[in-house]
Amino acid sequence: MRQATLINLRNAFGSEAAAHMRYVIFSERAELENFPNVARMLRAIAFAEKVHASSHYRQSGELLGEYCVSFAAPFIYNRTVDNLDEAYHVEVRESEEFYTPFAEVARMQGEKHIAQNFEWMAQVERGHSEMIRRVLDFMKSADEEPKIGPLHVCDICGYIIEGEPPEQCPVCKVKKLRFKLVE
């Protein structure tokens, strides 16, 4: 594997591991504020970020050792509506400024499988940002949490769907059985 792609994979692992924990913490805060639907959505996103971190870890695992990784992770813990606002902006940045350039580098270096994975992650992070934005807008206008149906997460790419999962993941094309219900 080429060096720039390997560094990007390791940095993406660090970023997604931090995102996973951030969403777990945000979910706990939402529970404390009596927003169980929002907490469940945040747990679904936390699981998706764990899927991303795990994928990056496995892909970069061919060169074992101890490495420093570089990533930006906001350290915030506010009201749920403020946490959602920050999460929205982070998801947009990950999609546009993180995964899209990483995919371009990997493709340029001939790492087609990794480039595809980064492209999937960019698409999934856009979906996360859209879901967060819908919930945030509702909470700001209605001053309450929205109703959110069952949430299923693809355990291959982290795609989240509200309601019943499709026969095939629209991002990575795996079968319906790879979707996990988040409660």
pLDDT digits (tens, 9 = 90+) for 134-178: 999 999 999 789 999 999 999 999 999 999 999 999 999 999 999
User: Does residue 180 form part of some domain?
Assistant: no
pLDDT > 70: what percent of the chain? Answer: 91
3-state secondary structure at position 151: strand
Q: Is 28 within the bounds of a domain?
A: yes
Q: Which domain holds residue 31?
A: 3-148
Alpha carbon distance, N-terminus to C-terminus of the chain: 38
Q: Return the CATH number at 138.
A: 1.20.1260.10
**175 part of a folded domain:** no
**Residue pair 49/19 in contact by the 8 Å Cβ criterion:** yes
| Residue 176 placed within a domain | no
The verdict on residue 168 lying in a domain is no
Burial letters 67-92, b for 16+ CB under 10 A, else e: eebebeeeeeeeebbebbbebbebbb
Q: Is 102 inside any structural domain?
A: yes
By residue count, the chain amounts to 183
Instruction: Say what percent of the chain tops pLDDT 90.
Output: 80
As for how many domains the chain has, the answer is: 1
- What is the signed CA dihedral for 164, 183, 136, 73, rounded to 10 degrees? -110
In a domain, 183, yes or no: no
